Amino acid sequence: MSTEEFTSLDRVLKTLSFEEPDRVPLFLLLTLHGANELGLSIQEYFSKPENVVKGQLILRKKYNNDCIFPFFYAAIEIEAWGGDVLFFEDGPPNSGKPFIQDINTIPCLEPPDILETSCLNKAIEAIKLSNEKVEGEAPIIGVVISPFTIPIMQLGFRNYLDLIYEERSLFDELMKINEKFCVEWANIQLEAGATVIGYFDPVSSPTIIPRELYLETGFHIAKRTLSQINGPTATHFASGKTMAIINDVKDTGTSIIGVSALEDLREIKNQCMNDLCILGNLNGIEMCNWTPQQAENAVKSAISKAGKGGGFILSDNHGEIPYQVPEEVLHAITKAVEKWGKYPLDWIQD
């Protein structure tokens, strides 16, 4: 295949097969920058699915992005449960006061009816519209928050940790409820046209809990949940470390792992080789203050460590690029991928 014959979807699929396409795929996971492109506040931007799709199409063309990311915000799932969402002028919407105030009410919880929930229907419509617009040219990424991670917003961090350690029967009950919701929500997004589901599970990272506790909890939850999702999944730990659990993550059945900027990509590539495709790992926080040269250096370094042999998609380490990252840095990342990411990467010294 020549360079011109590769669509973004072709490029990604070949990469997922641990082969080398024309160049390293680039996933700029921009959720908020579309608001700026349309001259809207973040709250106005997320008020209509048409806004999100239009923003994504502009950003894809502007930065030669290899995916469509019609993700709204993590707290949309809490909004679906009846919880509060707080909007900000320059950052992602966040969940408000946890809606589970008494853990003894957990057995009475009922997952929201997804197709009857207006906020989730906006996200579904955005996926449908994206699918119509890209016509198979690029992968469309749907997103779910893992059943094991979403209780941070349902209960609050401290109360959730207490539940894990001290109330395991109620914890198990909450996981059953959350798994049911997560699987249904993922599969509805796939039916709407999503190509892959991003399974965000930062609580499972060794940055948050010890591996031993993960193997008792988040590992089994992921294995059960992912087995019921009717499409490929990418497990992301939202900046959390992964090295200590990579072999465990392989056993969950996921295809892609989002990795931290705090770990060495070369070591991660060696660990993941031909089992997990790597997504990462540009530092999104540092990116806010990069010069174009620093952006190019970071891209070159990442590709040199993980690019050979396919199985690597360049992206940020968190799964969402901060609103404060300037255009010149995003353009520099794109240019650096075009410069250093063309296969066969002969410039890399083994």
Determine the pLDDT at residue 168.
97
Mean pLDDT over each residue of the chain, to the nearest integer: 97
Give percent above pLDDT 70 in the chain.
99
- C-alpha span between 225 and 182 (Å, rounded): 8
**Over residues 36-52, mean pLDDT:** 98
Determine the pLDDT at residue 5.
85
- C-alpha span between 271 and 243 (Å, rounded): 8
Which residues lie below 8 Å from residue 158, measured CB to CB, with a gap of 6+?
Answer: none
**Over residues 327-341, mean pLDDT:** 98
> Could you tell me the fold of the domain covering 3-340?
TIM Barrel (3.20.20)
Q: Confirm if 240 and 280 have CB atoms less than 8 A apart.
A: no
Give percent above pLDDT 90 in the chain.
98
Q: How confident is the model at residue 4 (pLDDT cuts 50, 70, 90)?
A: low
Which residues lie below 8 Å from residue 116, measured CB to CB, with a gap of 6+?
Answer: none
Per-residue pLDDT of 91-142, as tens digits, reads 999 999 999 999 999 999 999 999 999 999 999 999 999 999 999 999 999 9
- Classify residue 97 by burial, with Cβ atoms within 10 Å: 0-12, 13-18, 19+: exposed
Per-residue pLDDT of 164-200, as tens digits, reads 999 999 999 999 999 999 999 999 999 999 999 999 9
Name the pairing type of β-strands 256-258 and 277-282. parallel
Domain ranges of the chain: 3-340
pLDDT for residue 1 is more than 90: no
- C-alpha span between 144 and 46 (Å, rounded): 17
Q: How confident is the model at residue 40 (pLDDT cuts 50, 70, 90)?
A: very high
Higher pLDDT, 1 or 187: 187
Q: How confident is the model at residue 3 (pLDDT cuts 50, 70, 90)?
A: very low
